[in-house]
Structure 1
């Protein structure tokens, strides 16, 4: 008969050793914390301390609320890579903080972390100061920030033109808006493309573009970004028209939404830019006039896709010209106030409803009136500009 089961007793020190072993592992209940957690805390603190004051190279730019909001930390021994969102405001211009995705690299030494590099996060556009020193010129209504390579005379000229553009935009858009604008002037077309995160060819030949989010609510002020090459090739009148067009986009941004047709938003901006001048339809719409004189009247108002950057230049020109003449027609037949009311309604209602309420017509009626105006105004050769 086999003996029954026996209790086995552990040596006195073994339970203590097991307890000590468990307490050095990252499990709850032993009062310890993983070393990586403490390092991440230190990295976050180092980024916060480092970012508390903007770098000296940004002296002169009216920055407020400058802060890096850490999104993630990746540790690799004595190195750390931080993904963060830079938040800042330009005092007197931005009603809400702007944002920029950043990547911050740090090195650790004995528990102390220091920042080695700060750059745009992969895939994020660069900031003007990532391209080198920034020059600052203040106008009455404009803040002009020039990138590396820009000369003071050019920046002062752009500030003066922007100061003229703001009152012109306000006269065309008699609704509340900030009445001031930020203009970025990078050193080259390629550096402009870096700021906007698109290929340089998308902006070749353009004088300037406007960035910003459409719709109401608190949002950072738009930035007018000048293409230094395209802008330099413009006449004095062309520079006035381009900057007034872009500033008008800033003025109307809160009333613009995804439902606003591009022919209306782009046409309104051009109408504001040409308003009060003596440019005739034939002078201001030469590409469209060539088509009309050859018997090719457009069958529809310019669709949104016709305004895409980088397309065929003549087609793009016809889209902008047709949009301008549509808004010019509306202001001439129904009045400036009716055009403004249409713009406001089109940002919150279907276009058919907006046309009926603001103008008392429908899309077919507007299209017929527009085509008749094109045929009447563009079939005769344009007068020579004196």
Structure 2
């Protein structure tokens, strides 16, 4: 047994020596072509050049950052510079973060880009969000920019391509559409400012209105799933989704709904959203019936229409389903609910009732107290003498009368 083991050991050693000394040692196969990979350093350089073009207003430099065979990308990048100048974009910065998804066979890829900007004179602090940017290698060994936006991420409207810009002392309007449409929205914004100021006299108007081309484009602007805002005319939101007390807050319009409104309805909706801007509703912790009802109160304050018109939808709902048990809440204001219009009217009637019982100043004081953190019930009692339960009962009586 010992001799056999010794022989086997010698054979193994001989085999190992043969494997080490043989001439045809194994070599890993070389692929026919190199595997494409992202070029973050070159992409960062391209982003820095785009920032320089925006800051200097150099449209030609922006165009040169697009692929030579992509005139649409060149037009979009030129539009970014034009938009920035017209809207007075400042504190702009674009910083490469990381790749998004796989690199294509042609070397094209997308990346998350940390984006900072603000509109001078309107935004008190810069907005900051991660935006999707497309890149592709160019023939000079660098990287070209193919486009901005998409991928389910927030996309600032001014970065998507040429838009119409209208700016005056009180309002800034950006519209992805024809000049006539931009003029219309600018006129609506200008009219909304004094409507809000009559009630909120301490507001320094800083109204920014952004109008993407379509409902889907609105979702892209806000980084929402498609269809999220399909049923509403406009939404007021912080630009980057943050909730800080100084976060920039703008009005974002769904043109597919808003453009179907008759003139008076369009004025009411714009004034409603401008009220949200003035009260910083997007970052306030206020019960939704007070938040939305107050905005409608301001927008409808000087509109002379019968309740049969301004409360038509909630009256129909009460006739069909009976009087609600409570003031409208978050569920009633879900943007996908079929009775969204009735919820707005119901909230407006509650705030209108407060003003009728205790006066407009009391309604305003209730809103301000609650926005500052005071419980709604305590604020109501202090300013109106009514408890929340008493307000609800009287509001239900109003609904019964309508129905």
TM-score w.r.t. length of structure 1: 0.76
Root-mean-square deviation (CA), in Å?
Answer: 3.0
SS in 1 for 2:397: helix
Task: Map 1:83-122 onto structure 2 (within 5 A).
Answer: 83-104=112-133, 105=135, 107=137, 113-120=142-149, 122=151
Structure-2 change in CA distance of 1:359 and 1:144 (3 Å) = same
Structure-2 change in CA distance of 1:82 and 1:297 (3 Å) = closer
Per-residue deviation, residues 173-223 of structure 1 (Å, max 9, x unmatched): 2333x4021111222223223222334533334322222268663221x22
Q: CA shift at 1:336, angstroms?
A: 0.9
- Report if aligned partners of 1:207, 1:228 keep a CA contact under 8 Å in 2: yes
| 1:155 and 2:166 matched | no
Number of equivalent positions: 332
Q: Which ranges in structure 1 are unaligned for 5 or more consecutive residues?
A: 1-38, 380-386
Per-residue deviation, residues 156-189 of structure 1 (Å, max 9, x unmatched): 111111101011112222333x402111122222
Task: Map 1:24-39 onto structure 2 (within 5 A).
Answer: none
Who is 1:265 aligned against? 291
Per-residue deviation, residues 216-275 of structure 1 (Å, max 9, x unmatched): 63221x2212222222211111011010011111001069523x1111111011111100
SS in 2 for 1:202: coil
The equivalent position to 1:352 in structure 2, one of 360, 363, 377, is: 377
Hey, what's the Cα distance between the residues in 2 that align with 1:46 and 1:237? 47
Structure-2 change in CA distance of 1:338 and 1:216 (3 Å) = farther
- Report if aligned partners of 1:85, 1:102 keep a CA contact under 8 Å in 2: yes
Who is 1:289 aligned against? 315
Structure-2 change in CA distance of 1:297 and 1:81 (3 Å) = closer
| 1:366 and 2:394 matched | no
Who is 1:26 aligned against? none
- Report if aligned partners of 1:68, 1:87 keep a CA contact under 8 Å in 2: yes
Hey, what's the Cα distance between the residues in 2 that align with 1:153 and 1:40? 41
Who is 2:272 aligned against? 245
Structure-2 change in CA distance of 1:52 and 1:265 (3 Å) = same
| 1:175 and 2:202 matched | yes
| 1:184 and 2:184 matched | no
TM-score w.r.t. length of structure 2: 0.73
Q: CA shift at 1:45, angstroms?
A: 5.2
The equivalent position to 2:87 in structure 1, one of 58, 61, 76, is: 61
Q: CA shift at 1:141, angstroms?
A: 2.3
Instruction: Give the stretch that moved more between structures: 282-291 or 327-336.
Output: 282-291
Q: CA shift at 1:42, angstroms?
A: 6.9
Task: Map 1:204-353 onto structure 2 (within 5 A).
Answer: 204-212=230-238, 217-220=245-248, 222-253=249-280, 257-258=284-285, 260-293=286-319, 296-312=322-338, 315-347=339-371, 348-353=373-378
Hey, what's the Cα distance between the residues in 2 that align with 1:226 and 1:95? 22
Structure-2 change in CA distance of 1:245 and 1:155 (3 Å) = same
The equivalent position to 2:175 in structure 1, one of 146, 150, 156, is: 146
SS in 2 for 1:65: strand
| 1:125 and 2:154 matched | yes
| 1:52 and 2:79 matched | no
